[in-house]
Structure 1
């Protein structure tokens, strides 16, 4: 025993239509598709439907409906707590100045910071396994703050952000901090990159570069619905990053992190692609904010070429069902479901497509948790007891008893049907939109 720390819809569309899933593909052409900006989360559709439910800005008055095309327009439109609908048109870049002119990492650098100088000053071979300090490290922090002021976009309560066809947000970080009732749908999020990652020489055995920014970050946010988005690293994949101090120079953090007491979240019909650390639920083993919170549902999402954290969980009651995980041979892969401190993951009716070099036992990872319930999951079309596979290969054994049973599932599909259904209907380009959306009274 080891221990380690025009696409074809056909039958797929018909199956989706039978479930009555709002905003997803249907078997027949619809002449009067609903405006996704006015749609609300359906009853029993995951944890975000609990209690008051999630309605976003669906009741917005005409004056609170905006179409945005730039970073500053977006930042202005999503502030405040009045109900509001924000339609994203075209591509919005977070790394721009107030005139919408592109900013590079050199534009943010201040105080004499440069990466070559940093690498020379803090090389562990000469500096040692000691945290960087002194003027150059202070310059890195000051430079990072300048980028942060541009790329982080705070989102207010009672907000719906929805993409018009082809909408894209790149290099930006939507931050939902201590807000309630937010919907984000139909947008491709690309490459929320950090120009100035921090070097931690004592992170792990060899040290690590740690970056800031996720395309979407939840800190203390409640009643949030993240639906039909596509999230990836765009034209800056981790595989193309250089190595410094013997470690990959990591400029990306997560794709969607849910932390610091966030609660009642549904993540549905999204497409996550080509990324390492994907989704962290719970930020610390010792956090008192997270106890009895972090209730999250993940359903009908597509995860392709993911390294880890789909998701990694602490504390939360997390329902993971009807998702498709597709890995490729030769890609870096560590695990899918991280069982952290006091986590209670129910993982059912999911499908995995794994190459021969990934053992099904490695789908689960021990992170000081004690239990995960995994049932009716399939690997390459075959029914597979993933918990039994993990327990046979690794110590300590994990229990299947997580102490709760999900009740907020609007539609559950057979695990054998999940790959084709999710591939056909997940992602920003699969959100049903009418040919014309009434935007009378909108700004932008």
Structure 2
């Protein structure tokens, strides 16, 4: 299997470049973007590349679609469609805060796309990808709803400049009926605490991807699991070795909510086992994590655009 070539592929590449010029908004350093009530960005990407000290708040990102997805025949056993555009992309930047935003595909979900070459036609990429040596990034009180790929932290599996970077904090976000990369981590120290995962659907893949040299610290999150989603499905091994999980709770199987050891649940149904110590403890939290059972009461009313306390 070889990548597509020829006149049609060359035309697709030119069309992608044209779309990028029309839909990518490059954000400069020392920039604050706060949406007014009802502000929506449809089909657009915010590119934060080499731009320190950026704040993005109170925006709805709707259907950032790739009109010209690429066919990648070597992606997976039978190939896959891949899209280029994230809703927010953070690269080579520090001190970035993404707060009280909503990320959605609107009325154009990937589940409604056709199938070509035996694979679903993928017109969306990530919600918030943090790559290419970015660091000191916080995502808080955001609402991610009805999407497939959400958050990729780390550019590739190749050991390089990402090592020692990618320090990211995720807190008080709502992951609502989403399928994977919540987040998927390579190399970074990523603090994941007090988030509400409301997960369901036959296509659900995993919540937290444990990638190469990743060090995720997952504490006091609340997982509401729909039919077909089990506690052992919440982690996924993408070549990592360990993840710290503490104080998390799960609400599943029509039973009372209860504490869950995410690593033990994963190891009970998967080989090889993941270790339970990522080798670090967060020190940069503004306030202590609240107990997991209280997370839905805080995150539900406050996460997302239009809910910013003023």
- Identify the TM-score tier after normalising by the shorter chain: over 0.9
For residue 315 of structure 1, the aligned residue among 187, 206, 210 is 187
Q: Conserved in 2, the CA contact under 8 Å of 1:192 and 1:215?
A: yes
- Aligned partner of 2:213 in structure 1 is 342
Shift, 1:392, TM fit: 1.3
1:253 maps onto 2:129 in alignment: no
Provide the rounded CA distance (Å) in 2 between the counterparts of 1:288 and 1:223: 21
Unmatched runs of 5 consecutive residues or more in structure 2: 252-256
TM-score, structure 2 normalization: 0.96
Q: Conserved in 2, the CA contact under 8 Å of 1:305 and 1:331?
A: no
Shift, 1:306, TM fit: 1.0
What SS does the aligned partner of 2:191 have?
A: strand
- The 5 A counterparts of 1:71-90 are none
Which one has a larger percent strand, Structure 1 or Structure 2?
A: 2
- Aligned partner of 1:148 in structure 2 is 20
- Aligned partner of 1:366 in structure 2 is 237
State the structure with bigger RCO (CA 8 A, min sep 6), 1 or 2: 1
Unmatched runs of 5 consecutive residues or more in structure 1: 1-128, 434-444
Shift, 1:331, TM fit: 4.0
Provide the rounded CA distance (Å) in 2 between the counterparts of 1:432 and 1:187: 14
1:223 maps onto 2:95 in alignment: yes
What SS does the aligned partner of 1:346 have?
A: strand
- Aligned partner of 2:262 in structure 1 is 386
Q: Conserved in 1, the CA contact under 8 Å of 2:64 and 2:105?
A: yes
Provide the rounded CA distance (Å) in 1 between the counterparts of 2:295 and 2:18: 44
- Aligned partner of 1:422 in structure 2 is 299
- Aligned partner of 2:69 in structure 1 is 197
- The 5 A counterparts of 1:294-309 are 294-309=166-181
What SS does the aligned partner of 2:53 have?
A: strand
Looking at CA atoms only, which structure, 1 or 2, has the larger radius of gyration?
A: 1
What SS does the aligned partner of 1:428 have?
A: coil
Provide the rounded CA distance (Å) in 2 between the counterparts of 1:174 and 1:355: 32
Shift, 1:432, TM fit: 2.0
- The 5 A counterparts of 1:321-340 are 321-328=193-200, 330-340=201-211
- The 5 A counterparts of 1:1-16 are none
Provide the rounded CA distance (Å) in 1 between the counterparts of 2:198 and 2:139: 18
1:326-347 Cα distance to aligned partner (Å, 9 max, x none): 012x341010000000000000
Provide the rounded CA distance (Å) in 2 between the counterparts of 1:432 and 1:375: 29
Q: How many residues align?
A: 304
- Aligned partner of 2:275 in structure 1 is 399
Q: Conserved in 2, the CA contact under 8 Å of 1:263 and 1:293?
A: yes
Provide the rounded CA distance (Å) in 1 between the counterparts of 2:61 and 2:26: 16
- Aligned partner of 1:241 in structure 2 is 113
Shift, 1:201, TM fit: 1.1
1:139 maps onto 2:6 in alignment: no
- Aligned partner of 2:50 in structure 1 is 178
1:408 maps onto 2:284 in alignment: yes
Provide the rounded CA distance (Å) in 1 between the counterparts of 2:12 and 2:239: 34
Quote the RMSD (CA, aligned, Å).
0.9
Q: Conserved in 1, the CA contact under 8 Å of 2:126 and 2:149?
A: yes
Shift, 1:221, TM fit: 1.2
What SS does the aligned partner of 2:146 have?
A: strand
Provide the rounded CA distance (Å) in 1 between the counterparts of 2:152 and 2:55: 19
Shift, 1:410, TM fit: 2.1
1:80-126 Cα distance to aligned partner (Å, 9 max, x none): xxxxxxxxxxxxxxxxxxxxxxxxxxxxxxxxxxxxxxxxxxxxxxx
TM-score, structure 1 normalization: 0.68
Shift, 1:356, TM fit: 3.3
Q: Conserved in 1, the CA contact under 8 Å of 2:202 and 2:228?
A: no
